Each structure stands twice: as structure tokens, then as C-alpha cells.
Amino acid sequence: MATVEQGVDQGKEAKEYTGSEILLRCLIEEGVEVAFGYPGGAVLPIYDSLYSSRLKHLLARHEQGAIHAADGYARATGKAGVVIATSGPGATNLVTGIANAQMDSIPLVCITGNVAQHLIGTDAFQEADITGITMPITKHSYLVTDVRDLPRVIKEAFHIATTGRPGPVLIDIPKDVSNAKATYSYPDSVSIRGYQPHADPHPLQVQRLHQAIAEASQPVILAGGGVVTSGAEEELIAFAEKAGIPVTTTLMGLGGFPGQHPLWLGMPGMHGTYAANHALLETDLLIGVGARFDDRVTMGRLDKFATGAKIVHIDIDPAEIGKNLDAYIPLVGDVKKVLATAIPGLRRSSSEAWIKQLEKWKQEKPYSFKDAEDTLKPQWVIRHLHETTKGKAVVTTDVGQHQMWVAQYFPFARPRSFITSGGLGTMGFGFPAALGAQVACPDEVVISVTGDGGFQMTNQELAVAAMANIPVKVAIINNHCLGMVRQWQEVFYQERYSEVDLSGSPDFVRLSEAYGVKAWRAKTKQEASDAWREALDHPGPAVIDFWVTPEENVYPMVAPGTGLDEMIMGDEAE
Amino acid sequence: MRHVISVLVNDQPRVLARVANLLGRRNFNIESISVGESEEEGLSRMVIVTQGDERTMEQIQKQLHKLVDVIKVQDLSEYASVERELLLVKVGAAPATRMEIKGIVEPFRAAVVDVGPNSMMVQATGERAKLDALLELLRPYGIKEMARTGVTALPRSVNKAAATTS
Ligand SMILES: Cc1ncc(C[n+]2csc(CCOP(=O)(O)OP(=O)(O)O)c2C)c(N)n1
């Protein structure tokens, strides 16, 4: 039988598929489990092929929601998130999400439809030059002009998105390419001449690192998102413990080093801990590990940042080294590989007195706030979320005060458990990102901590939570204003509160219920803990509208343009 | 300091846009960019003239390398190299002054490539400074139209010694 069939097969011409069928086959071949998206004219062929494909698709209510969900999925798993949007307005609605992923080095494959090639450049209906528009915010992009290129392009796109320093890759597919036919075969390997990420460290630089550590007495590790990206948490712990070096983790690095570890100093920078910031001021050896010395950490005041320190910079992206800060020891490579290579030859630094000093600061000047019995303090709510889940949750945030309070009062124990928009600071990111994270991790508790401002930027995605029964718990830290802006106006603009009042917002409980999502409101601690318990027990999506005191500020704070030595401390930490 | 950077790129649509976009976005200052075919099929050579200190140059090179379509980046200032630019200039030239202009053009090994009733077109190649000098001499006759290509360049074949002495 087999031989007869073979004969028949050989006799026939190889089967042809349309571009859109090929696309979906390639996605399945790449191991894509779910795509987030929104249809439209230019992607009709793709959505038609999707109809009979086994690829799971979640229909967002706005392309921005779709791409943030794909981003949340990618952050929770480390795999590339996939988003599909139509040409023109669909594609331009992705722009914020693409920039967001680029700034935080998140692997995304963004598939956009475009008008047929004979219409490109004619200002046709729903035409936008999305490859041009997104050029500065993608790691790479493709405009596919021949259906036969599709498999190679998709293979390359996933490779580029997920390797080296990850990032978003855009594939723009004109409608005629989706409709055109070709035979299908998926390439096994990729070779891109101009793209050769450099993963292994230079042995000489590793030796110099050993030497520098042996000579240091006040070393500190600044660990960033690169630790999470490369999955280097175990290596980082082993490295820090063996060498006796305390660790501070940037916002993107939170969870990359356990928040309960005795060597952890907390987050540095604008809203960082006293101990972390003073460690950075006084260190004699600063080891940047997958961190880019961003201005929220250095305050852009390099003249006041680690001035007495030798700088070691470990990063997979050579362009990060020397971009903001000159490195005494540049170490280009994958963070996990670099640390693993460095650990065996590592000797302990003479850091006992230094660690004691930092420990003292940690004890004396922790994050603190004035709690109250009769009102609900936002910091209390975050601490409560941590206590009740014992930290076993994936938490996403939006941008603003609540984001900083999560960073401060929810000590993350494991990587990929904190999902936040660090680089771009995108309001509206957190809730859809939580949906993506929950799809990726169905057995985890996923909490979307958001502001009453940020939630209103993408709250239409409640429909997705309801429709697909995604059991995300949304904790709105509702201070009835644009809290972080209000704080800046209070501190830097003489309390001239310009356009930060959010009265006129909907009743979030009724809004959620309108979408078929269960919701609670809490104005006191008792109500808060009751509502939270019920929400956790509820098997589906849930929204809790926590009415917190509006005048609370995030402390400590370092004003922009000042150095880390000029921290404004909070109420109780003076 | 002035630097001439040679960049080998995939001969792809938009690759010039990608490079120009990158340089603009990162606030690097560009004097000229020229692109054309290279010795290898499928690759173009882009020559970028820019100003900057050592740190800026290092960033420019590293950032260029991040582009997937960039194959190789070379700062030609580190080598002995040949730099050339092409100039076409139309100068006012009544019949009476034609000989005079020819006399100016000759020592520059430039050529008159077109003549009209009241103007002449001069073509010159050379280093930027030489073309600037020629232009200064032609200016009094009235420059009607002008086009320059921007610099293109290649390292010299015998280079090691030059690189160390420079
Ligand atoms: C899309 C977008 N627009 C504007 C901003 C500027 N911004 C930063 S924080 C903030 C206020 C956020 O208010 P809210 O969401 O209520 O959170 P809160 O600070 O009160 O916790 C604003 C407007 C932003 N980060 N993103």
C-alpha cells in the first residue's frame, strides 16, 4: 500500500496553500498556542484560515488590548507573544504596544495585514505604512512581497524576536500575498548574516571581574530585566552568595532575585530604598547585570552616581555598554552564561563590614507609611494582597503610584511574577497584560493592580475576561485622581492640581457587572479583606474597587535632576 | 572629530531609511550619506560622514550593528583611505568669461561637461576640501545650480603601517 501511495504522491504536483494558510501552519510549527488580535479587511484571508486552524485566538476589544495581552503572555512565559491586526487603523493601534515591548525587550511577533501590493503607496482605503511608522520601535520588520518568502520570514521573525536581546518584530503581509498560493515547507534552521548575537563572555574579562571582586570591599550588584530574560536567577543567587555581594534589582529586575533574600537591598532609583540608593552612592565596585543604567535609576545624574566605583557591565546588547555609563570591565554576553562562567573562579570580596552597614540601613530605613484604622491606605492594600497570597501570584500593574507601591510592598520571590511597563510607562498596559499572563499560566493567581486612570484606558477588555472566563483579579487602587501626576503637582507645581480629577469616572462595580464580571467595592480594611477573599475564591474574573485615601504619596522620592543622595523620605522614615 | 564610516548593508528596500532613521532618532549628527552597490551582489555600501567624540563613534557603530540588515561597520578614520565626492556645478558664463573659467577648472582636473548661452556646467571629483576650494573660485561668476554626491570612500590596500602611524 505504502509504495502505491508514494507513487501517487510523486505523480501529483505538490499541494499548494494560500499565504494565510501557510502563515497559520508556520505559527503552529513555531509552537504558538494562542494569538491575540482583531480582524479587518486586509486580514480577512488570515481570519478565514484561522476558522479552520487549531490555533487558539482571543478576540480583543481594541488592538492595544490585544498587543498588551500578547506582551503579558510573553513576559509570563519568555516565549514570543503573537498579535494579529488589520491594515491602517488596526496596525496603528498596535504602535503603543510595540514601543512598550521594545523598551522592555519583550519578544513579540506582530502580524499586520496590508492593502494589496498594487495599492501600496496610493493612500488606499485603510492603508498605513506600518513598517515605516514602526521602524524606530521594532527590533526588525518585514514587508512580505512574495508568498514564497513567508515561511522563511516567519522563522526569522521568531528567531530575531526571542534571541539575543529580545524585542518586537513586525511582519506586514499585503492581502494579495495572503491570497497567493505556494507549496509549503518550513525551514529547520535560520541563518541571518547580519544577526549574530554574542552569548559567550570573553574569558579575559571574566578574569578581570574575578580580580575586581577580590579587591573590592563595598561591591554591589545592580540586576535588571536581563536577569529575568535570560532565566539567570539561580546563577545570580549563587554568584551573589559566593562572592558576598548585596543585590539591588531595578523595576524590571524585580523577582529576578528573591525579595526575601538577606542580600537583597530592594529597588534603587527614584522610588528606591535608602539602602539600595546609598549602596549605589558609596560602592567601590558596581556590577550591572542585564541592567541599562536607565535614568530612573541614575536620575540622569551620572556625576553623582557610583562615582567612586569601578563599573562592570554585563549585557547581551553591546550597544548598552558605554551608552549611559563607561564600563571599566565590559562583559558582552548572555547574563546566565556570563554568571555561570564566572561562578567557579569566584573569590569572596571583603565585604562583611559593608553588608553590615547596608543591613543596618535596611532595618532603620525601610519603606514605610502611616497606616490608619478608619481609612484604606493603598500601601496597606498591596501588603494585604501579598500576605493573603503568600506572594504566590503573578502581578501586573499599570503605571503610576500603585505601580510603585506594588514594587515597594510586594516583595517578589520569583522571576516572571511581576509584569509591568518599565521603559515606556504605558497606562492601560496592566489589565490586558494580566489577561495574557493568565492565559499563559492558567493555574496561577493573576492579579492586575491598576489605577482608576489606567484601567479606563483599556477596561473594555473586561469583555474578553468575561467571554473566555479568564479568572484575573483586578485590584483598582482607586484614589479618584491621576495619582502620580497629582503627586508631582503637589511637590513640584505648588499644589496647582491641573486636570487630574477623575470624578465622572464610571461606577467600576456596575461597569464590570455590565460586562458580566463579578465586582466588589471596599472602603475600609474590613471591606477590603472580605471583598478580596471572596474575589480570590470566585472562580472567574473579578474586579475589586478599593477606595483608598487620595492624598497618599509615593516615598521615598528622588526629584528629577537631583542625585540619589537627595532622597525625600516619607512620613515615618524621616 | 570628523569620521567616515563605511557600512555594508543588505541591498533591501528601506535599508537607507532604517539607517537614517536610527541615526536621526539617536540624535547623531550626519554630514552626508551616500549609498551604492558594493563588490558583493546583494550588498550595498553606505558611506556616512559624521562628527563626534570617541564615545559617540563607538555608540554609532554599536547601534548600527544592531540593525539586522547591517553586515559590517568600519570607521575609515582608523585607516588610510581614499575619499571622493562628485560635484556638478552650473556657473554663470558669458562667452567672454568662458576661457577664464576653463583656466580655473584645469588645475583641479575638473571638466566642463555642458555649455549653454550664459552658463557652463563643471564636473569635479575629489576630496571634499578640494571641491570646496574649487567652488570658492567659481563663486564670483555666480553659481546657478549645484549638486554634490556626498562622500564615498574605501580603505587603501596597504594599510597596516598607516593605521598605526595615524
Ligand atoms: C498612556 C499614558 N498617558 C499618560 C501617562 C502619564 N501618567 C503617568 S502616571 C499617570 C497617572 C496615573 O493615574 P492612575 O492610573 O489613576 O494611577 P495612580 O497614579 O493614581 O496610582 C499619568 C497620567 C502615562 N504614563 N501613560
**Chain A neighbors of B41, CB-CB under 8 A:** none
With CB atoms and an 8 Å threshold, state whether A192 touches B68.
yes
Residue A175 annotated as catalytic: yes
Give yes or no for a cis peptide into A556 (omega within 30° of 0): yes
- CA A377 – CA A385 distance, rounded (Å): 13
- Which has the closest alpha carbon to A246: A262, A225, A269, A224? A262
* B21 in reach of chain A (CB within 8 A): yes
**B164 contacts: CB under 8 Å, gap ≥ 6:** none
Q: Which CATH class is domain B2-79?
A: alpha beta
Contact criterion met (CB < 8 Å) for A132 and B66: no
Cell of A88: 491602517
DSSP A13: P
Q: Say yes or no for a CB contact (<8 Å) between B59 and A132.
A: no
What's the pLDDT score for residue B160?
61
The residue of chain A with its CA nearest to that of B73 is A194
Cβ-based contacts of B54 with chain A (< 8 Å): none
A427 alpha carbon – ligand 1 mean position (Å): 6
Three-class DSSP labels, A454-498 = HHHHHHHHHHHHHHCCCCCEEEEEECCECHHHHHHHHHHCCCCCC
What residue's CA is closest to ligand 1, atom 4?
A427
pLDDT at B16 over 50: yes
Q: Which three cell numbers stand for residue A4?
A: 502505491
CA distance A304 to A44: 56
Position A1 scores a pLDDT of 38
Q: Is A398 in the pocket of ligand 1 (CB under 6 A)?
A: yes
Residue A484 among the catalytic residues:
yes
Nearest Cβ partner of B69 from A136, A194, A326? A194
Other beta carbons within 10 Å of A531: 21
Task: Extract the C-alpha cell encoding A430.
Answer: 496592566
- Is B97 near chain A, with CB under 8 Å? no
Q: Which of A192, A194, A318 sits opposite B62 (nearest CB)?
A: A318
A267 included as an active-site residue: no
Which of the 8 DSSP states describes residue A411? -
A66 alpha carbon – ligand 1 mean position (Å): 20
- Whether residue B65 and residue A322 make contact (CB cut-off 8 A), yes or no, is no
Q: Which residues of A touch B58 (CB under 8 A)?
A: 322
C-alpha cell at A178: 495572503
**Tens digits of residue pLDDT in B99-118:** 999 999 999 999 999 999 99
CA of A462 to the centre of ligand 1 (A): 20
| Residue A483, ligand 1, Cβ within 6 A | yes
Of the pLDDT bands very low, low, confident and very high (cuts 50, 70, 90), residue B158 is confident
> Of A136, A319, A322, which has the smallest distance from its Cβ to B25's Cβ?
A136
Give the Å distance between the CA of A400 and the centre of ligand 1: 5
Active site residue A12: no
Q: How far apart are CA A401 and CA A483, in angstroms?
A: 6
Give the containing element (helix H, strand E) for A499: none
Which runs of E-coded beta strand occur in chain B?
A: 2-10, 30-37, 43-51, 70-75, 81-92, 111-115, 119-126, 143-148, 152-155
| B-chain residue closest to A131, CA distance | B14
A487 Cα nearest atom in ligand 1: 19
ipTM over the 0.95 cut-off: no
Contact A109, A157 (CB under 8 A): yes
- Asked if the C-beta of B18 comes within 8 angstroms of chain A's C-beta atoms, the answer is yes
- Domain range list for chain B: 2-79, 82-153
Is A1 a residue of the active site? no
User: Of ligand 1's atoms, which has the minimum distance to the CA of residue A455?
Assistant: 15
From A79, A155, A175, A377, the catalytic residue = A175
Each of the 574 residues of chain A gets a pLDDT tens digit; together they read 344 444 444 546 789 999 999 999 999 999 999 999 999 999 999 999 999 999 999 999 999 999 999 999 999 999 999 999 999 999 999 999 999 999 999 999 999 999 999 999 999 999 999 999 999 999 999 999 999 999 999 999 999 999 999 999 999 999 999 999 999 999 999 999 999 999 999 999 999 999 999 999 999 999 999 999 999 999 999 999 999 999 999 999 999 999 999 999 999 999 999 999 999 999 999 999 999 999 999 999 999 999 999 999 999 999 999 999 999 999 999 999 999 999 999 999 999 999 999 999 999 999 999 999 999 999 999 999 999 999 999 999 999 999 999 999 999 999 999 999 999 999 999 999 999 999 999 999 999 999 999 999 999 999 999 999 999 999 999 999 999 999 999 999 999 999 999 999 999 999 999 999 999 999 999 999 999 999 999 999 999 999 999 999 999 999 988 999 999 987 765 4
Atom from ligand 1 closest to the CA of residue A400: 19
CB contacts under 8 A, A 148-167 vs B, are 160
Give the pLDDT score at A12. 61
**Cell numbers of B55, please?**
564615545
pLDDT tens for A191-213 read: 999 999 999 999 999 999 999 99
CATH C-level class of B82-153: alpha beta
Catalytic residue among A16, A56, A125, A534: A125
Judge if the beta carbon of residue A552 lies within 6 A of ligand 1: no
CB contact under 8 A, A194 and B68: yes
Separation between Cα atoms, residue B28 and residue B33, nearest integer Å: 13
Alpha-carbon Rg for chain A, nearest whole angstrom, is: 25
Which candidate in A103, A252, A270, A484 is catalytic?
Answer: A484
Taking CA atoms only, the protein residue closest to ligand 1 atom 5 is A427
A 407-466 residues with CB below 8 A of B? none
Q: Which residues contact B158 (CB under 8 A, 6 or more apart)?
A: B80
Write down the residue that cell numbers 521568531 correspond to: A158
Could you read off the pLDDT of A246-282 as tens digits, one per residue? 999 999 999 999 999 999 999 999 999 999 999 999 9
Q: Which residues of chain B from 58 to 77 reach within 8 Å of chain A, CB to CB? A: 58-59, 62-63, 65-71
- From the list A393, A406, A347, the residue with the least C-alpha distance to A212 is A347
Lowest model confidence (mean pLDDT) among A9-23, A429-443, B14-28, B137-151: A9-23
d(CA A379, CA A178): 51
CB contact under 8 A, A193 and B67: no
Find the closest chain B residue to A323 by CA distance. Answer: B59
* Pairing verdict, β A418-419 and A394-397: parallel
- Give the CA-trace dihedral at A341, A342, A343, A349, to 10 degrees: 180
pLDDT of residue A14: 86
Of the partner residues A131, A192, A319, the one whose CB lies closest to the CB of residue B63: A319
How crowded is residue A217: how many other Cβ atoms within 10 Å of its Cβ? 13
Indicate whether residue A399 lines ligand 1 (CB < 6 A): yes
Chain A interface, mutation test: which of B53, B66, B69, most A Cβ atoms within 10 Å?
Answer: B66
SS3 for A280-312 is: HHHCCEEEEECCCCCHHHHCCCHHHCCCCCEEE
Q: Do A139 and B68 touch (CB under 8 A)?
A: yes
| Residue of A482, A503, A554 with the most ligand 1 atoms within 8 Å of its CB, for mutation | A482
Cβ-Cβ pairs closer than 8 A, A with B, add up to 43
Closest Cβ–Cβ partner in B10, B13, B55 for A322? B55
Of B9, B59, B70, the CB nearest to A323: B59
Q: How far apart are CA A104 and CA A274, in angstroms?
A: 25
Protein residue closest via CA to atom 20 of ligand 1: A483
